[in-house]
A and B are shown apart, each in its own frame.
Chain A
Amino acid sequence: MLHPVNVLTPIALAAACTTTPLRDDVTFNRDIAPIVFAHCAVCHRPGESAPFSLLTYDDVRRRARQIGIVTRQRYMPPWLPDPAVSDFAGVRRLSDDELDRIATWIANGTPEGDPADLPPPPQWTEGWQLGEPDLIVTAPEAFTVPADGVDVFRNLVIPLPVSTTRFVRAVELRPGNPAVVHHAIMQVDRTGSVRRLDTAEPGPGFAGMGMGRSEPPDGHFLGWTPGKLPRPGRDDIAWRLDPGTDLVLQLHMLPTGKPETIRPSIGFFFADRPPARRPFVITLRNDLIDIPAGAEAHVVRDRFTLPVDVEVLGVYPHAHYLGRELKAFATMPGGERAWIIHIPAWNFDWQDEYQFARPLRLPAGATIEIEYTYDNSAGNVRNPSHPPRRVRFGNQSSDEMATLALQVLTETEADRATLAAADERKTSTGLIAYARRHLEDAPDSAIAYELIGTAERTLGRPEQAIAAFQRAVELRPDFVDALINLGNVLGESNRHSEAIAVLRRALTHEPDAPDIHANLGVALGAVGRPEEAMASLRHALQLEPNHVGALYNLGSTLAATGRSAEAVAVLERVIALQPDHIDALNNLGVSLAASGREEAALQAYRRAIEFAPDRVVGHFNLGNGLLAAGNPGDAVRSFRDAVRVDPGHARAHASLGLALRQTGKLASAIDAMMRAAELAPTDAVIHHELGRTLLASRRASEARETLERAVERQPNNVAMRNDLAIAAMLTGDLDAAGRTLEAALALDPDATDTHGNLGLVRAQQDRPGDSITHYRRALEREPDRLACLRGLAWILATSSETRWRDPAEALALAQRAAELTRFGNPAIMDTLAAALAANGDFDRAVQAAEHAATIATRAGNRPLAEIIETRLTSYRKGRPHREP
């Protein structure tokens, strides 16, 4: 019965909707409190950054005039992006409707209204907003902001005490004194650069907007602005925190009129597993900014074309005090344009990072552009210079920047790598351009040369990098960063001796820098000075006991110098600090195997594979471990994995061949080894194994050719020469075989193999005397060597010349060989029969020969069986066998 017409008439309904905000009975309890509670009270409450509370009717009424003005001017709540073009999460901006309500309420004399209309007051979590952190760090010292002056930028360096690799889901900053901090950003540094900056300046941290070589961790923005609640984060894109990482916290602070101390704490919340995906931060920046004095609308641009599809999660635009209007948009491959962000009236003081409500999808080929407008006129009250002066790129607040950081996710890690490479190329190219322009004004700028060196190194041009770093240290001989980088790039270019000299020079300036000692250790190791290398690495570890790089290299050097047990201990420390250190796991496995702990070694390799299934080394090591453990079948599988992930890995193909040979698959083994030999035409070991396998397949001439190449490469290898001699023998070239073996004997006059093989060759060359000599030499060192026992017994039993014959010794030798083979080897039983016959024991000779023929037949060796049959006929007739 109550106004049914109004409710049912669409026109009346629409009218009711539009008039609601404009009605004049606006009250605090019904209309204003919901706005204040939702948009203001997060900061305007005790203990937060805002100067006074807005929690009650009285709080708001007393400041109504102020509230009316600052909301109408959109100074409060602060929100810079144009809401019409992008949809961000956590928008703080008031709608026009809300502004109207506030204005009407004030115009009407701020009526309180019906207490029943008042919504419940907002509830706040005390202390950490995300719950108790897994790790809390506090700045080592408090910083004091002076009472007066301009904005203060201070970077506090806080080492992060984790004893093993962790994955960080969320970070929460508690400034300690929120009234002072206007804005804060956090980055991580694994290079020691911010530590050096901290040490170089008195007081806690270091000044300025530059943050050394620190970076946003794994593509995450860590920012803090007043009133912004920390995000709970996502396990699946958590960022990696390794031991030895420093956090650098940049605080942008405003003096308050009295000295203020600030000592922030930061809470870390860990994910319980490594992330499935890692975001990446694409940076657009134009460092060639050059804004003429007085320019009112100077435009600066930059662009970047995406090489892969991305989802944009967040965006962080940045300019300093001359920034007026900031635009960023994407042009799709089809030409269509999409906004990323538009800030119509930039205000440095309210800079922030914005997360999209829903990720923004941009396809490969889309071009991201920034177009920033700067006002360098006297009319810009924020202009740091009066009168205005020419302004260029720089970190100081009187310089300018044009930066847009985009946090993106790629579909795959491979896409991420492609994107990162493109981004690095762009950044490095830009840096070089910037530094070169700087050199036009300041030709002796060591810093510019150092920048060029760093960029050239990133671009993969070590020669240019070395030249630039060398120029930098010429200009400033005590430029430690440049010396370290020069040393490192020399090392990367295998110029280790020069690297050593440069790093030693760096140490004269900073004798206690663990990184320099560690890098020096690596360089010394590379030039084959393991003892000095380990001394350097140990020095680094005295300075920083958990220096993962120093520990890893020390462990690996210990392993390489045969100190396996010590290597195991050190490498296990690396794994404790960083469980997925692939190289350490592999070297740990190798050291464990060398210490006789094969099973533990296999475990280490398996863990390495688990963390990095696409890296060949784990599969390769596991295969070798399995092969050594007598499991060629599983080894074949590991080596197949190895050649799948790295088809160009010659040794993996060769080892696959070895494993296949051991499982009896000779043809496949030869195929695998031939692939290996193709990939590594100069690898003697691979050719040797291929030759041996060909020999085993009776492909003697191919074997001979292959082994000849192996011997060419390693002429001093006795075993290779022996195998080559066998191949030559099998192709019927006894002279060549003899020559090869003589050469082998010259290298090692006592080698059993060589004497045994020479015995065989000489016997076939009908030189029984020489044959007997060599067989006896072989048997002196290895009395149970079957081939020699048999060969010598045969000559002594069957020689056509009486002077060589010695039936008794022949029988003793043959008997010994037969016992060793448990009367199961047809050739040895044949020899035993011949020796028995030579001694006139024809009955037993017949018996032995019959047995020999049977087992030869059973083994499928028909030709041998037939030969034994003919000798059997002689024995039956009471005639011993005689060589012709």
Chain B
Amino acid sequence: MFSAVPDAAPSVFHERNQGTTVQNLGLSHLSVAVGHFYMDELENGEEPIRTQFERVKPWLDAAKASAISGGERPRVSTCFLVDDYFQHWPDAPQIMEKLLRLSREAGVTIDYVARESACARRLDGFQTAELVATRLLEEPFPEGANGGRPPISMSGWMSNGKPPRESRVLETMESHVWEPAHEFGERNHSIYLDVELWDSQGRPGGEDDGELGNRRYSCPFLAAVWQLIRLGLLRQDGQPALKVTDFDGEWRTEWDQCPDIVKVNPSAQPFYAYRSLSILPRTFLPIEHSVQNIINHFLPDPAVVESLDRQAGAKNVPLPPVIADRLSHFFLAGGN
């Protein structure tokens, strides 16, 4: 039946307007985030910054030596995310000079610098965060979703299960019923997590521009966007959602005039990578746990997944299908 093609001649008319063609990216094997500071830490003394970079150094070396590369010479790039979303002063040149000098002195080369604000909204106004928000799928209740449930979370929260419940059943009995929280994908016992993705306090530093523009994204949400950006999984019309700009030799005074991602090391390996490692102070552990929860509910564009799989396959680079498996972390000890 299927072979019964009436006319075997090749077709003469071809109209294929594929809406989006996914671009193959230049990819490193590993993207390493070399530390993180809150903005007030960057504003203040140099010593804590120097100490953190010194602690990052041996683990960065270890990461370079152990990058999974499928037999190719490992390509590793480093990046640093500047926390300019929740608070910032017009002092980008001073901060950047200090940051790059102290990291260099500690033997940590930063290849790329990105702005956290760009994970919410790009310099050109494009809402980067929406690319993630609209692809988050709430986890279905056990035997409670048969196809009609709206796919997108509108509540601004993302959980991995069912919250605990406490309710008074009958007023007269004055008895309480309590049901424990339940992780849907638990193994024997639950670790229930519910993460706030955004609130409606208004975009920091922004004028009111509608419901989306009014969202103030949470730190874990922006960190999840940042991980997906590094892994090449966030695209706009097939192109990376945040693009890399070469450093033009000068930092703008205002953070929100600086490019989204700046290449500060001209000889760096590609920014985007098959896998990521984040070397962070221990205090970021709950944030990264939340990042994993968000990413576990993120459904990537199948065409993007296919493009990365094809590139990895061609070079025998092992690439896990579960996105969270592409992430790794090292948490630096706290205290001094």
A and B bound? no
